């Protein structure tokens, strides 16, 4: 069994069932498989061999689906690339992964023309949009006239399947390498966790280059032959309209996506009753925000999926029945993997309230960081992959993440974990978004700073914020500095780019 075989199986077992919906295009699984085969055969004809890496600089479109599974059926390794990267960042990944081919959307054509002479290992370029460009074959023409037969490449469950690059919030991104087996295991994990059914209708609004949407939702949906709808751009009111129109039953989004949807003025006009389960993850969510979300969507049928790319993504999860009772927590163990907190020496943290690093073990974790043995050895120790996320466990074994290891603030010898401060700040009704960072201080080493955006028409001073927080958290954790901004800098996963804020405000305490 391999990921590409899932598409072929759907073509045999449910050929006439609607498989993929994108804009005005609706494809049954038989047609999906034919288009996937055409991509596979085209790549093989262009010289792509088993084990070759094929980069995908693409948006959420039908072409993404055909390309992703086509690469896998050709025996290749799919390398989805963040479509928000600047050209030099994309070029770094194309070179680092040793791409033998690149499939890209029209928006990236000027960048691809410029870097093409430098990408010496790339044998083939395919443009995936409606444009026609010199030096590049258009994928639409290939699909219209290509070979729809099964490519016949023998792909093993333990062959390499994906390289997923980390977000690179602290430096050059690293490529997490996976085999088909890793994600087939994850498919069964997700099907069991969220009760996925063959009758489910999934909406892919989060980017498919991201591990969560790709491996927690697209692949499981394909495994079960679900109907899957894609949207290229996240427009909150259009997402709500799509859920209503297509009777979506499963949806995943980063916390910031739910925040945007909740702010749609005529939210209540949309019929969302078809949704059996909502998933959220990719970034922490404050307890108060979880409660607001449940109230707004009028359901507690949410799953918190708290994981990280290198684990599959795997990690921990919080089921619907615990959403209010344990609001803000990441959750507990998942089937097919083990999780624990460890101290700096690698010993298991067993006492509630003691901070440790979240580590995961199981068949979903990455094989390695591609071409980076030093980073691999640092990340995977005795079979456990280290997340870099710090958390605490309560008396029932539920884990709540409190900070990244590199983001922990030490002020006057005291450790401050940003999430507990952020959770307290979110209880203030004026706050739209908030993040806590440490900035250098000549006496205390670091001091706590809050960077916030406010709801429309609101104002906030540092004095007001400190007074609000005094009864909620220890005195040394209360921010001494405040900066109000229009919006927080985030990557596409909804994670705040704290390093940008630390650099921007590094001299703030000295002013």
Asked if residue 509 has pLDDT above 80, the reply is: no
Per-residue model confidence as pLDDT tens digits over 230-250: 999 999 999 999 999 999 999
Per-residue model confidence as pLDDT tens digits over 429-448: 999 999 999 998 877 888 99
What average pLDDT does range 246-274 have in this prediction?
95
Give me the number of domains the chain comprises. 3
Residues 260, 292, single domain; the answer is yes
Q: Minimal CA–CA distance to 5: which of 147, 189, 153?
A: 153
Range list of H helices, 247-286:
255-262
What average pLDDT does range 85-94 have in this prediction?
91
Residue 497: what pLDDT? Answer: 85
Question: What DSSP string runs through 267-325?
Answer: GGGS--TT-SEEEEESS---HHHHHHHHHHHT---EEEEEEEGGGSSEEEEE-GGGTTT
- Contact in structure between 21 and 228 (CB atoms under 8 Å): yes
Enumerate residues 6+ apart whose C-beta is below 8 A from 53: 76, 77, 79, 97, 98, 99, 100, 163
Domain-located, residue 170: no
Confidence of residue 287 (pLDDT cuts 50, 70, 90): confident
CA atoms within 13 A on the CB side of 313: 23
d(CA 501, CA 493): 17
Residue of higher predicted confidence among 412 and 382: 382
Residue 511: what pLDDT? Answer: 52
Domain-located, residue 161: no
Examine the fold and report which residue of 126, 155, 184 is the final residue of a domain before the chain moves on: 155
Residues 324, 216, single domain; the answer is yes
Domain-located, residue 184: no
Residue 167: what pLDDT? Answer: 67
Residues 250, 387, single domain; the answer is yes
What's the Cα-to-Cα distance from 51 to each of 156, 163, 173, 487, rounded to whole Å? 11, 12, 21, 42
What's the Cα-to-Cα distance from 475 to each of 12, 29, 391, 411, rounded to whole Å? 64, 59, 21, 12
Examine the fold and report which residue of 376, 404, 432 is the final residue of a domain before the chain moves on: 404
Asked if residue 333 has pLDDT above 80, the reply is: yes
Mean pLDDT (the chain) is 93
> How many residues in total does the chain contain?
511
Question: What DSSP string runs through 453-477?
Answer: EE-TT----HHHHHHHHTTTS-GGG
Residues 354, 221, single domain; the answer is yes
Residues 38, 144, single domain; the answer is yes
Give me the CATH number covering residue 345: 3.40.50.12780
Residue of higher predicted confidence among 474 and 3: 3
Confidence of residue 255 (pLDDT cuts 50, 70, 90): confident
d(CA 204, CA 234): 10
Residues 228, 136, single domain; the answer is no
Confidence of residue 419 (pLDDT cuts 50, 70, 90): confident
Per-residue model confidence as pLDDT tens digits over 182-213: 999 999 999 999 999 999 999 999 999 999 99
Residues 140, 242, single domain; the answer is no
Asked if residue 362 has pLDDT above 90, the reply is: yes
Q: Which residue has the tokens 């002479």?
A: 117
List the structure tokens of 123.
Answer: 């044998």
Residues 384, 421, single domain; the answer is no
Three-state DSSP at 286 gives coil
List the structure tokens of 477.
Answer: 């954790």
Per-residue model confidence as pLDDT tens digits over 108-163: 999 999 999 999 999 999 999 999 999 899 999 999 988 999 999 999 999 999 99
- Contact in structure between 116 and 136 (CB atoms under 8 Å): no
Give me the CATH number covering residue 21: 3.40.50.980
Q: Minimal CA–CA distance to 361: which of 311, 313, 309?
A: 311
Confidence of residue 254 (pLDDT cuts 50, 70, 90): confident
Asked if residue 283 has pLDDT above 80, the reply is: no
List the structure tokens of 29.
Answer: 């699984």
For the chain, report the end-to-end CA distance as a whole number of angstroms.
61
d(CA 317, CA 308): 12
| Beta bridge pairs of residue 253 | 280
Residues 394, 428, single domain; the answer is no
Examine the fold and report which residue of 360, 379, 404 is the final residue of a domain before the chain moves on: 404
Measure the CA dihedral 107/109/115/121, to 10°: 110
What's the CA angle centered on 448, arms 442 and 451, to 5 degrees? 125
Residues 295, 396, single domain; the answer is yes
Most confident of 9-18, 142-151, 288-297, 480-489: 9-18
Residues 386, 501, single domain; the answer is no
Confidence of residue 492 (pLDDT cuts 50, 70, 90): low
Kindly give the pairing relationship between strand 137-138 and strand 227-230.
Answer: unpaired
pTM: 0.87
Rounded to an integer, what is the distance from CA 393 to the centroid of its chain? Answer: 24
Residues 265, 291, single domain; the answer is yes
Structural domain that includes position 362: 192-404
d(CA 200, CA 195): 10
Give me the CATH number covering residue 490: 3.30.300.30
What average pLDDT does range 481-503 have in this prediction?
86
Domain-located, residue 178: no
What average pLDDT does range 266-278 have in this prediction?
97
Neighbours of 280 (CB within 10 A): 27
Neighbours of 126 (CB within 10 A): 23
d(CA 76, CA 165): 17
Enumerate residues 6+ apart whose C-beta is below 8 A from 324: 290, 291, 294, 300
């Amino acid at each position: 069994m391999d990921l590409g075989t899932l598409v072929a199986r759907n073509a045999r077992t449910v050929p006439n069932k609607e498989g993929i919906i994108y804009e005005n295009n609706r494809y049954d699984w038989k047609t999906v498989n034919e288009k996937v085969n055409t991509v596979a055969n085209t790549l093989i004809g262009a010289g792509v061999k088993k084990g070759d890496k094929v980069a995908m600089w693409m948006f959420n479109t039908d072409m993404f689906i055909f390309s992703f599974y086509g690469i896998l059926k050709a025996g290749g390794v799919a390398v989805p690339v963040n479509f928000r990267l600047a050209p030099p960042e994309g070029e770094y990944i194309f070179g680092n992964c040793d791409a033998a081919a690149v499939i890209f959307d029209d928006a990236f054509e000027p960048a691809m023309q410029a870097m093409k002479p430098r990408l010496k290992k790339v044998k083939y370029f395919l443009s995936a949009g409606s444009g026609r460009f010199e030096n590049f074959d258009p994928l639409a023409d290939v699909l219209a006239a290509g070979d729809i037969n099964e490519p016949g490449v023998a792909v093993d469950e333990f062959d390499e399947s994906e390289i997923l690059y980390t977000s690179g919030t602290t430096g050059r991104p690293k490529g997490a390498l996976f085999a088909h087996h890793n994600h087939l295991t994850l498919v069964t994990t997700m099907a069991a966790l969220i009760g996925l059914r063959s009758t489910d209708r999934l909406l892919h609004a989060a980017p498919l280059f991201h591990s969560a949407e790709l491996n927690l939702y697209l692949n499981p949906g394909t495994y079960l032959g679900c109907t899957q709808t894609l949207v290229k751009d996240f427009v909150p009111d259009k997402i709500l309209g799509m859920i209503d129109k297509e009777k979506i039953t499963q949806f995943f989004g980063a916390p910031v996506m739910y925040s945007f949807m909740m702010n749609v003025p005529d939210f209540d006009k949309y019929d969302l009753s078809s949704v059996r389960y909502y998933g959220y993850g990719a970034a922490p969510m404050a307890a108060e925000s979880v409660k607001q979300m449940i109230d707004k969507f009028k359901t507690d049928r949410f799953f918190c999926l708290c994981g990280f790319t290198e684990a599959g993504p795997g990690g921990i999860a919080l089921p619907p029945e615990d959403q209010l009772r344990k609001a803000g927590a990441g959750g507990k163990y998942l089937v097919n993997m083990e999780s624990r907190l460890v101290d700096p020496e690698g010993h298991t943290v067993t006492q509630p309230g003691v901070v440790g690093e979240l580590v995961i073990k199981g068949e979903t974790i990455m094989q390695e960081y591609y071409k980076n043995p030093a980073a691999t050895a640092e990340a995977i120790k005795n079979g456990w992959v280290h997340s870099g996320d710090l958390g605490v466990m309560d008396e029932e074994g539920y884990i709540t993440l409190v900070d990244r290891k590199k983001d922990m603030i030490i002020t006057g010898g005291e450790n401050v974990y940003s999430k507990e401060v952020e959770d307290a700040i979110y209880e203030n009704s004026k706050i739209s978004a908030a993040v806590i960072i440490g900035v250098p201080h000549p006496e205390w080493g670091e001091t706590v700073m809050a960077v916030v955006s406010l709801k429309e028409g609101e104002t906030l001073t540092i004095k007001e914020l400190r007074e609000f927080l005094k009864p909620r958290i220890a005195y040394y954790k209360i921010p001494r500095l405040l900066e109000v901004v229009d919006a927080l800098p985030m990557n596409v996963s909804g994670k705040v780019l704290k390093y940008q804020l630390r650099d921007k405000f590094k001299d703030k305490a000295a002013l």
